[in-house]
Every structure is written in C-alpha cells, then in structure tokens.
Structure 1
C-alpha cells in the first residue's frame, strides 16, 4: 500500500486514515491469508527436507563404497576379527599386512614372502649422461652455450687437442671465469667416456647448443636438472616427434592395443607421461624421476602373464632419446608371480606354497597384501564380534531415529488455532513468543502424509521378509520389532544373541544383510513390479533399505518421491517449490491491487474535501450576506 504522506480531514473533520484502513481491511485480510498459506507450504517443505537430510546422512555413512569401514552393503563389514602381523625377527617390519572378510578362521598363520609379484618393466639410463666415447679432437676451440633461468651464456675451449681430464679442467676454469656461470655447473666424466654436466643450483640449466661434432645430443650432457613440467622433449633431442603404440593386458587378462599416442617435440616431459598413462587407461605407466633423471616404463598388471609391448612409428627413435632400451620386438621383460609360503592355523598344519600374479589376494577369508620379501611373518587372527556388532547397531540406531521422526510427524496432531503470524501480529509479540507460536503452528503439517507412511511401512517389510539363500532369519540373530504401538517399525536388538550369531554364523549374518540379487544386480528406478519383487526377495536387508531410500530420495535421473515433492535446497522444480512461486506471484499481484484500491479511496475522500471546502465557503458567504441585510 502507499507510504505517501497525506493530510486529510481538514474540511470534513473525519479521520480519513482510520476510515480508509477500515475499508481496506477485508482486502488486506485476503493478502494475509495468502501469505499464511504460502508460509504453511514453505514450512512443509522445510519438514520434508529435514527428513531428506537424515536419509542422505544414512546413505552417505552406511551405503557408500568409498567408506569401506562403514559400508554395510559389503560383506567385508561383517568380518568379526582383529588382525595383527609381525616379522619373526625383532625390530623388522612385517613383509605382509592382512585383513579379514567373512569366512576367515581365527588362529595363527605363518607367512614367508619368497618374492613379490613384479610388472613387465624397462628402466632407462639417466638422460643427463652421454653414452658416446670421448674424442679430444672434437673439443679443440669449440663453443658451448648454456641457458640458466632463460639467459644464455657461452664458453670456448682451448685451441689444443685435450685429454678428457684436461678438457674437464679447462671447462671448469672457463665456467668459473664467467660471473653468470660461476658456482652453478659441475663438469665430470659421463657414461662411456662422455662429458657430464650437472647443476649445482635449483635453476633449470641446459646445454642449448654446441659446435662440437654431432651436436649436444650425443657428445655433451643432454639436459641438466630436468624439470618434468618445463623441460621440453626437444631438449632431449626429440626434434621430429612421432607416435607410440602399446600392447598390454588389462586387469581381467584381456590383451588390448592402445591407439597411437602422439609425441610432440614441443610437449613437456609431464605432458608425455600423462599422454601415455591416459592413452592406455592407466594400464601402462611412463614415469620420470627428477631425482635420478631416469625414465621407466612398466605395466600396471603384475605377474608372469603381464604384457608390455611398445611400437614406434619406425623413424624417430623416441625411446632412444629417453634412454629407454626395449629388447628386440619392443617387448619388455615380463614380470614374475608372487611366491609366498603359508602355514594355516591348526595342529599339524603343513606349509603350502602359493603363487599369485598380484601382491594382494584373498585365501579362505584372509586378505593378504605383500609389501616386501622377508623372513617368516606371524599373522594372528582373533575373533571380535564387538566390531561387527557396533557397525550393525550403529545403522539400526540411525534407522530407528529416522523412523521415530517420521512417526512423530505423521501422527502429530495439528494445532488449528495456531496459524502463521501476520506482519501486524508479529510486531506486537516478543521474539520468544514468536518462536513458541511458530513451533505450535508447524505441528501436524505432515500428519497422515501418505509418502512418509508408505516409506516407513516399506522399510519395515524389508526387515522381516525372508532373504532367499541367506540361511538365517532376523529373529535368529536377535532382531525384532518394538511391541510399543507408537514405535511402529522400530527395530530392537538382543545384543547377546546378535554377537553369538556373528561369532558362529558370520557368513549367514553377512548374507542376511548384504546379499546381492543375482537376477537384477543393480538398482533400476524404472523396474517393473515383477522385477522389483524378484530383486527384493534375493537381496539382503540393507540392500533393500538402500533401494527404498533411493525410491524416495534419488536426486538424479528419475527423482525420488520426496525429492519430487520438496526438492533439495535451490531446486525450484519440485511440487512445493512451484506452489510457493505461484503464491508469491499471487501475493505480489494482490499487493499491487491493494495500492490501487487505497489510492482510489484517498482520491474519493479528496474530492469530498474539495466539496466540503466549497460548501463551507458558500455557507460563509451566505451567512455574511444575511447578516449584512440586518
């Protein structure tokens, strides 16, 4: 409504402001009613989102594969054991670590790591060392150009045919005589009889040119203190470029060939290693060490079946420039299998030799990770039902909290006499009074909500329908439904019974909760009722709960029912968000109409003032005329 300052009622003597306010009241009440309706919708959305937040926390904590310690969909979470590993020699670190999964046997294991599994691999020579023989004649009166921090400085050798020792002394003296080069470069004998330059400072130092026979690529050091992010392949002598193609085996043992990987002379060392690693989907790793100045090439897969073959385009000699020597045919030396000798627990148990293509593997519920060849390691597996019990109870507690909250909201009696406060009512109340009033006004807004009631009922059914192939029931492990009517759907735990089941029937307990459907292995929001029923029967309880939460809270693709209703923060497409937007538009329209109506009232009263002024003036004139006649 208008905030203009008006002076009215001077002629009529009427309280125009109060009169118009009273006349406007039926219309302002309609606006207040619409604002109250809008607030109720917003509160309902808040209540839904609060429940959505609780379900999201459950999913993130207990159904996330990236959180193996609490992921209740993995059978490994039900392994009730503690594992310790130690080398038989005091002070020596163990050459193996271990964890357990369902089916492990408690006891002492003796593990002797004979050798680790290795990859197919080629180690290169340092790129800053020459492989050519020293030829003194080539170094007579020759110029060598260095680049330090982007600045180029040169020296010229003596006009005599030097021995290698004389040349080294001569170059050192010339370097020390140059202020820009003094104390920054060392000169020594390289591989083969060549000359090696190495940096004494952290700057990137390069030999950029020389008039020595065959240029810098073969006689002088190639690159000094190479930085993998800034050193270009042209610095290594790759001036043409080309392609590399790799044959390898993936994690499933399938032989694959990469697409040709382009090698550009303008690329950096880092860009080359990234191109190889990404071009083979990580199955081949090209590494470079700034510390040693060496490249290495290896397969991701280890063991005797690991394959690494590299094919150049035939003309560029890229690998030679990297100082990587691949055997004939481009096939790297194959890896070897891990060999380990294990003596399981039990009286009279004998040592068993095991070969595996990888350094991590599982046998009889024990997951081994080999870290080094070593003397005998002692692994102790001890039963610990408390650990698994705590995980199951942790989930049940959060589940019960969610059920309690939903039951409270769907059973809550609505307080009809408490409506959202109008602006006028709010200004007349204290802050604490407003909070208490709104708390009462929010009660019962989700009473009898069919979505929430159906979600709780479906989750309750998920607990007590039998799991095909589990071999155990919920009652057998000490879980039951609360007998208190108000706690419908809440799960109670018999601690003694559950711990006993974990210790004696661990495999069956794991299946009861985490078994996966063999017919329909993944969740599908568009599955038919028959497909859903089949998947549900074959799944463990927590797998079912995960499906139900997705049915109601999924935020991508086909959205869950509660997400469709309330959305997440920032979502304006949900049903309640759309309703709020429409009500906001209606409120704005009504407020504009109020202003127009109020102005029209003031205009009418203004005309009345004008008429009354005119009437008063005529009356005064008439009075004067009558009085003058006497």
Structure 2
C-alpha cells in the first residue's frame, strides 16, 4: 500500500490524499490501474508507433549509407580513386621511364587517346612564376644601447633589477646576474658572466661555443646564434605582485617584505586598466599584519584610480582580497619588471633575431635593416612622438590587375598583411616568410610568360624593408620537345608545368640540365587496370542492389510489435533483443522510394548513350538470366577484354560521356532531365540517380533527396527536419498530452478513494463511540 501520513500527538492527523484501503481493505492501486488501463493502452500504442518510426529512420539511413558508399567509390570527384566520370580512369595505356632517365625532371602518365610507342623527351624547361625576394636577413643584429658603468653598479639582487629573461627555441630562462659584490666591473665582465650563464642554461657545442653568443660591441651587448635555425627573443620578467600581494599571510614570524619584484599589479576596473604600485607604509617595507598590508594596497589603488573607484581591499583568512561595490567589475593581472632591461639598454623594437609576424609594426619597425616607415624621399610617416601621420600603403600589380593596400602600423601585424595579400584575388600573389633565412618572398599564383608582379611602396617603405619591393618580375612558359620512334619531333609550350597533349599528361618538376641525355618514355597498351575497375563496379553494383532488394522484399513478422515498458520489465535483455530483431523485420517492404531508385538504376544501364556506338551488352555485361538474381549483372570477361583492346575510346565514352545540361537545371525541368539522361554516360546517369535519393543540398525545386527528405542524415540539418522525425515529434506531443490527462484522471480517482476511506473512517469512529456508550450504560 502507498501511505503518506504524519502523526501529531495522541490523536494523529492522517493525509488521505493517496490512502489505499486502510479502512475498506480495497487494493486501491489495482482498482486505479484497472480504471486507467484503456488510457494507458492508448499511450502505449502511440509509443509503439513512435518506436516504429525511429526504426524506420535507422533503416532508411542504412540504405542511404550504402548508396553514399557506392557513390563515393565510383562517382565522387574528391574521395574516389576510381571515378568513372574521368577518362583517365579508363586509360588503357601505361607510361614507363627507361632505366637511367631523369624521373626527377619530368613524369608522364598515359591516358585516353595515347598511342603506344617509345618517346624521347628533350629540351625540358619548367614554367616559372613571377617572383620577388631579396633572400637575405631583413632585420638588424640584436644589440642593446651603450651600457654605462654607473647603471651597472646599481644592479643588485635586493633591488630586483638583476634578472634577465631570454627565450631560445621555445625554452624561456631567467638569468640572475651577480653583482652584489661588484662582480660586474665592466661591460666585458658582464659579457663574460652572461655568456657563462647562457651556456649553462642552453648548452654549448663540443668546442665550447654557446648556442647564443654575446659580444661587447663598443659598450653594447650584441647577440647572435650559432645556427641560423635558432630563434631567440629577449623578454621581460614579471613583477610578481599580482600573486604574492594577495597570497601572503603576514605575521610576526612570517612577515611579508615588499620589494621591487612584488610591489605592482595590474588592476582593470570596468574598461580602464592601470598599474597599481604598493608603497612602504610609513617608510616600512616589512608587514607583520594583514591590516597594514591592506592599507598599503588600498593606498596604491587610490593613487592609481582616485578614492572611491569602487574596488576596496579587505581581509579574509589572513590574506588581503579585493572587493567590488555593487555593479562594479574588476580583474587583476601581472605587470612587467623592466628594471634589468633598462640598465642593459634593451631596445624593445629589436629583441629577436627573427621577425615577429604577430607583433604590430609600430613595435618592431626599428628592428628592420631598412626603415619600414621611411618614404622614398627620405621623409617618414612616423612622428617624433611615436604616432603616425599616414598608413603603410603599397600596390601589387599582377596579371589580374592592380591591388592597393593600406594598413595602420599601430594596429596591424605582418601576419595580418600577409593574410590580406594572400586572399586578394587581384593581387594574385602569395607572400611568405622563411624563418631560416629571416627573409620574405612574394610570388604570383599563375605561372608562364603572362605571370607578372610589380610591387611599389606608396606610403612608408614596408615592402622595401621586407625585401620584396620591385618591378618587372615575370614568369616563363614550360616546354618540352617530344620525339617519336619515327624521328618526328614536336615542341609543346604551355604556361603550366602540368599539361596534357595527345593522351599524355606531362608533369615537369625542373629543367633538364644542359648536356643531359633525353628522357626515354615507353607507352604500352594495358587494359588490366580498366578491366579491374569495371569488374569492381559491377561487383559493387550487384552487392548494392542485392541489399536494396532484400530490404524491400523482406517479410514482416506481424506477430511482433514494439515492446511496451511493462512488457520489457518482465523480460531479459537477450529476450528483448531477439524480440526486437523480429519486430524490425520488413520495415521497408514494398518501399516505393527504394524501388524507384532500383528501377532507375536498371534503366540507366540499358538506355543508349547518344553519340556512342557501344552498349553494356556489346562489351560483355548483361543481366543474369536467373530471375532470382533480381537484375544482377554478369560479365563475359573475354568479350569485355576484347572491347577494351579494340575499342577503348568507345568504352570510355560509354561511361564518361557528358551532357551540356547541368544536373541542377535538369532537377527543375523534366524535359531537360530527359535530354541530360540521353546525352550522359553511365557514370553521370548513376551519379544523378543516387544524388536524387541522397542529396542533402536543395535542387532547383528546393527539394533534397527522396531518402533524405524521408529520414534525414546524421550531422545534417535534415537530421531534425525530415518527415519521419516530424511524425516522431508529433507523437511526443500527443504522448505528453495524454500523460498529463492520465495523471489528472489518476489523481481524481485516488482523491475519490481517499474520500471514501475518510468517510469510512468517520463511520467506524462513530460506531466505536456508540459501542463504548452502550457499554458504559450497562
């Protein structure tokens, strides 16, 4: 019984909402369940219909997957290695280089239309692209300003101005310079100590040469690397105040000592960021109480932002924390400690031996050998205060026209410029950076004699500083002289290094060296590859239609329907699986969408191709005479091989013939569709039919494929918009509505039974009272 009651004192209070037979002795749960049986059965029936729909979706998608796999193997322009739409797939020839020929200079592939024979290839010249590049290091050697001895003498560990940060090939090391006892008595002494510490940090070769070399260049530190593949960058250490000020728990035994390495943090209030410097309190840098440290931090905040900025220092668990007034947002961060770099006169625009492509131009401009901000007349677009009077501007003229570019040096990086240039279709060029040589190159995207590049700085001199300014850069055509076995020669000239002539596809990699022997190529007939491709197509087609036929002819076991939740509760997992296997049988029996696709595929095989004198039958491919095979194809191998040997071009056309009517236009007009079918070879016919079933993109009538429309495809928007899933969503709404009504009806029944129990309880109490009265009267 389901009892929900609570007792208060001796008498007790009973909650009768779902009392089940306490007085009457009735099994209320069973009575309510019986009363709602028809309602529950209606819900179960709709749930079964929903489950059938979900099974149908899976069954449809299984068919879609099979069609997609077949399409990908034989018709997809991206994934197929045996694309039946391409004439090269049906090439009955192979080209082989003679032993000793320069295969690194040129390669040859024989395709449709090639002729067997031995060919001699000479005077091979690769096409070139218009290209501009200085090919040399574009940045200055990394060096500091002149270091004074007076500045060196101030370097002390207690001042936190003796830490030098440097990164080599991604490894960052903080070098602590020793000068507390006056070790740095000269720049030479600084060079010696720094070199030793760098060697310890990054290693040296067997001769003791460090990966980074430091030299005294007239009182300046000059940094170079052992190898041009090494990349280094001089950095700046952080002031640790953002961490240490708010993690310290000051006490008499563990005081917090404020110094130049932990006295600052960045504070952002709203959209305003400032550096907060914490000063000693009443001249005392040692804090034994959190309250005193809190006061010092608050003084720093007020000094930076003014009193009442909305962020105040407080104490929690012995540590200083920051709190914001209502509606105020803030964040903290680390600041940099430039003390050491200032002593060493570090030039922040020239801290790396390579170009930092992501840094804004204004930060790195001075590091280039040629000033990127200087105009050709000697004036500069950079003002004395570091601002700019004009943008960096240049033009690129290619075979496509002239493109003009303009960039703000204060907000633009070289990476930004490269991306814009490389995307510009008029510039028609690719700008690249070689980290090894620390140089830039710009090359036209088209090759041949019409390829050209003119690059001119019109404001500032950025392209000159990158070594890629110039005019008159042009490309050249590719050429090869082909001599046949009969001694007849022809010279082929093309703008590209890959081209096809007379059935031979040439791919030139580089020029044939002067005086080198001609490249010998032997072209021979070989139908085995084409035979294997066609046989594979037939085998996969047979497997496909076998699966589709089995789906639409599978009998449905009507004695098995989707199980209800109550039925599953009394079954084992194995019993459920076996039941559902039978229940899922015949889901697609007689399906017209699949039957239509099968019928169209069969029709495509035997409809004549306009302008082609062969058919599948004439090349040895026919339908099985065994009706139980349901349209499977059989191959007369001898006949197919004979057709490939004697009439390869016609066999190729049978599969690859194309129509001038596009698939998209044909999808919107039945007459155009008929014309396209007649003119198309087997490959386009099959491709069209399969796409009509599984296409996820809309056609001219805004329809997707028939199977996609019905059941959708996982990962595509159709997964949630197909007709079957719409029915499922409708079932869900109906089930939710019926469940709501069922619950309401159930609550009403329980309330009635509870009321009955309550009345019976009162009657029983009254009866007991009367009995007690009669007993007392005796």
Per the normalisation by structure 1, the TM-score is 0.79
Q: Is the 8 A contact 1:415 1:440 kept in 2?
A: yes
Question: How many pairs were matched up?
Answer: 568
Structure 2 partner of 1:366: 504
Q: Is the 8 A contact 1:478 1:494 kept in 2?
A: yes
Change over 3 Å in CA distance of 1:128–1:587 after alignment to 2: closer
Structure 2 CA distance for aligned equivalents of residues 444 and 3 of structure 1? 48
Indicate yes or no: 2:483 matched with 1:343.
yes
Structure 2 CA distance for aligned equivalents of residues 30 and 78 of structure 1? 61
Q: Is the 8 A contact 2:360 2:414 kept in 1?
A: yes
Structure 2 CA distance for aligned equivalents of residues 118 and 127 of structure 1? 24
Structure 1 CA distance for aligned equivalents of residues 697 and 771 of structure 2? 85
- With 482-491 and 507-516 compared, the bigger mean Cα shift is at 482-491
Structure 1 partner of 2:117: 107
What SS class does the counterpart of residue 179 from structure 1 fall into?
A: helix
Indicate yes or no: 2:726 matched with 1:578.
yes
Structure 2 partner of 1:387: 529
Structure 1 partner of 2:398: 248
Structure 1 CA distance for aligned equivalents of residues 777 and 431 of structure 2? 123
Structure 2 partner of 1:20: 32
Give 1:47 deviation, angstroms: 0.8
Give 1:414 deviation, angstroms: 2.2
What SS class does the counterpart of residue 379 from structure 1 fall into?
A: strand
Change over 3 Å in CA distance of 1:444–1:499 after alignment to 2: same
Structure 2 CA distance for aligned equivalents of residues 197 and 415 of structure 1? 84
Map 1:513-532 onto structure 2 (within 5 A).
513-518=655-660, 520-524=661-665, 526-532=667-673
Aligned to 2:605, which of 456, 460, 463?
Answer: 463
Change over 3 Å in CA distance of 1:340–1:223 after alignment to 2: farther
What SS class does the counterpart of residue 355 from structure 1 fall into?
A: strand
Structure 1 CA distance for aligned equivalents of residues 360 and 436 of structure 2? 14
Aligned to 2:52, which of 33, 40, 45?
Answer: 40
Give 1:439 deviation, angstroms: 1.6
Aligned to 1:117, which of 122, 127, 130?
Answer: 127
Aligned to 1:323, which of 453, 461, 467?
Answer: 467
Change over 3 Å in CA distance of 1:297–1:592 after alignment to 2: closer
Structure 2 CA distance for aligned equivalents of residues 281 and 384 of structure 1? 45
Change over 3 Å in CA distance of 1:430–1:41 after alignment to 2: same
Give 1:357 deviation, angstroms: 2.3
What SS class does the counterpart of residue 499 from structure 2 fall into?
A: strand
What SS class does the counterpart of residue 331 from structure 1 fall into?
A: strand
Give 1:4 deviation, angstroms: 7.5
Structure 2 CA distance for aligned equivalents of residues 177 and 188 of structure 1? 10
Q: Is the 8 A contact 1:62 1:70 kept in 2?
A: yes
Structure 1 partner of 2:85: 73
Map 1:213-252 onto structure 2 (within 5 A).
224-230=353-359, 232=361, 234=365, 235-236=367-368, 237-239=371-373, 240=381, 241-249=391-399
Give 1:457 deviation, angstroms: 0.9
Give 1:456 deviation, angstroms: 1.2
Structure 2 partner of 1:253: none
Give 1:511 deviation, angstroms: 1.6
Give 1:409 deviation, angstroms: 2.0
Aligned to 1:202, which of 227, 231, 236?
Answer: 231
Structure 2 segments unaligned to the other structure (5+ residues): 6-17, 149-163, 174-186, 199-209, 236-346, 374-380, 382-390
Structure 1 CA distance for aligned equivalents of residues 452 and 47 of structure 2? 71
Aligned to 1:554, which of 677, 685, 695?
Answer: 695
Q: Deviations over 1:20-48 (max 9, x none)?
A: 32222222211111111111111111111
Q: Deviations over 1:302-335 (max 9, x none)?
A: 222322233442x534443233462xxx222x32
Q: Is the 8 A contact 1:479 1:494 kept in 2?
A: yes
Q: Is the 8 A contact 1:175 1:185 kept in 2?
A: no
Give 1:614 deviation, angstroms: 4.8
Q: Deviations over 1:50-97 (max 9, x none)?
A: 1111122223332222235222222211113333335636xx654111
Q: Is the 8 A contact 2:24 2:760 kept in 1?
A: yes
Map 1:152-551 onto structure 2 (within 5 A).
176=191, 179=194, 184-185=212-213, 198-200=224-226, 202-204=231-233, 224-230=353-359, 232=361, 234=365, 235-236=367-368, 237-239=371-373, 240=381, 241-249=391-399, 256-265=400-409, 267-280=412-425, 283-313=428-458, 315-324=459-468, 326=470, 330-332=471-473, 334-344=474-484, 346=485, 348-374=486-512, 375=516, 376-518=518-660, 520-524=661-665, 526-551=667-692
Structure 2 CA distance for aligned equivalents of residues 33 and 324 of structure 1? 76
Give 1:113 deviation, angstroms: 4.4
Q: Is the 8 A contact 2:139 2:355 kept in 1?
A: no
Change over 3 Å in CA distance of 1:341–1:456 after alignment to 2: same
What SS class does the counterpart of residue 625 from structure 2 fall into?
A: coil
Give 1:280 deviation, angstroms: 3.6
Change over 3 Å in CA distance of 1:550–1:614 after alignment to 2: same
Point out the structure with the larger helix share. 1
What SS class does the counterpart of residue 483 from structure 1 fall into?
A: coil
Structure 1 CA distance for aligned equivalents of residues 578 and 428 of structure 2? 63
Aligned to 2:713, which of 568, 572, 576?
Answer: 568
Give 1:389 deviation, angstroms: 2.5
Structure 2 CA distance for aligned equivalents of residues 188 and 522 of structure 1? 74
Change over 3 Å in CA distance of 1:258–1:432 after alignment to 2: farther
Structure 2 CA distance for aligned equivalents of residues 318 and 595 of structure 1? 76
Change over 3 Å in CA distance of 1:360–1:28 after alignment to 2: same
Q: Is the 8 A contact 1:248 1:307 kept in 2?
A: yes
Q: Deviations over 1:374-403 (max 9, x none)?
A: 332222333332322332333333333332
Structure 1 CA distance for aligned equivalents of residues 426 and 479 of structure 2? 28
What SS class does the counterpart of residue 36 from structure 2 fall into?
A: helix
Structure 2 CA distance for aligned equivalents of residues 522 and 588 of structure 1? 44
Q: What is the RMSD computed on CA atoms of the aligned residues?
A: 3.9
- With 591-600 and 559-568 compared, the bigger mean Cα shift is at 591-600
Structure 2 partner of 1:163: none
Structure 1 partner of 2:323: none
